[in-house]
A and B are shown apart, each in its own frame.
Chain A
Amino acid sequence: MDNFIFNNYTPKGFCREYVEIKGNSSQLAMFMATVLGIKPLMDDWINAGRLKEFRKVCKQYGLKIREDVLFDSVPKSDLPVNILGRDFITTTSAYGYPVGSRQDIGVHVFISKNEALLKEGMWYPVIIKNRVIFQPRIDSLKYGYTLGYPECCIKFFRKFNNWLKYSYLYEVYSNTKGRPSFLCNPFLKDTSFSYIYHMPCSYDCKATVRLTSRLRTEIKRREPGYVDLVDGYLKKSFLAFYERKIYCFDGSLRNNEIKYKRFQFTTYTKKEYEDEYSGYFKQADTVKLLGRNIILSRGGKVIRQLELKWSSFAPEFPFMIQFS
Chain B
Amino acid sequence: MREDFLLNMRILPEHRVNRFEDNCIRADYIFDYMAERVFDNPRLLDLLSIKIKKWLAIEKSEFTYALAGYISYLKEDFAQAEGFFIKALNFEPENIDTWLDLAFSLYHQNNRKIRLALKILFNFDTCAKSFRNKKITLGALEKTMDKL
Contacts and interface: CB of A to CB of B under 8 A. Distances in A.
B36 A137 contact: yes
Contacts of A131: 25
B125 interface: yes
Nearest to B110: A119
A147 B34 CA distance: 23
A138 B38 contact: yes
A129 B109 contact: no
Contact of B118 (A69, A137, A139, A158): A69
Contact of B125 (A69, A96, A120, A129): A129
A138 B74 CA distance: 7
Interface residues on A, range: 20 to 34
Given A84-B25, A98-B118, A158-B39, A137 B124 contact: no
A123 B110 CA distance: 15
A128 interface: yes
Interface string B87-123: 0000000000000110010011110001000100110
Interface residues on B, range: 20 to 34
Nearest to B31: A136
B104 A137 contact: no
A131 to B, nearest CB: 7
Which secondary structure characterizes the binding site on chain A? mixed
A295 B19 CA distance: 57
A291 interface: no
A141 interface: yes
Interface string B25-47: 11000011001101110000000
Contacts of A142: 39
Contacts of A138: 32, 35, 38-39, 73-74
Interface string B53-79: 000000000000000000001100000
B104 A119 contact: no
A233 B133 CA distance: 62
Contact of B73 (A85, A120, A133, A136): A136
A46 interface: no
A84 B20 CA distance: 11
A119 B121 CA distance: 16
Contacts of B110: 119
Query: Which of A120, A137, A138, A139 has the largest number of chain B CB atoms within 10 A?
Result: A138
Contacts of B122: 96, 98, 128
B69 to A, nearest CB: 11
Given A119-B109, A141-B35, A158-B39, A136 B25 contact: no
A137 B32 contact: yes
Contacts of A84: 23-25
A183 B35 CA distance: 32
Interface in A120-149: 120, 123, 128-129, 131-139, 141-142
A88 interface: yes
A132 B124 CA distance: 12
Nearest to A132: B25
Nearest to B101: A136
Contacts of A132: 25
B124 A128 contact: yes
A251 to B, nearest CB: 42
A315 B114 CA distance: 40
A135 B39 contact: no
Contacts of B73: 136, 138
Given A66-B114, A123-B121, A138-B38, 9 more contacts: A98-B118, A134-B25, A134-B26, A136-B31, A136-B35, A136-B101, A141-B35, A141-B39, A142-B39
Interface of B: 23-26, 31-32, 35-36, 38-40, 73-74, 100-101, 104, 107-110, 114, 118, 121-122, 124-125
Interface of A: 66, 68-69, 84-85, 88, 96, 98, 119-120, 123, 128-129, 131-139, 141-142, 158
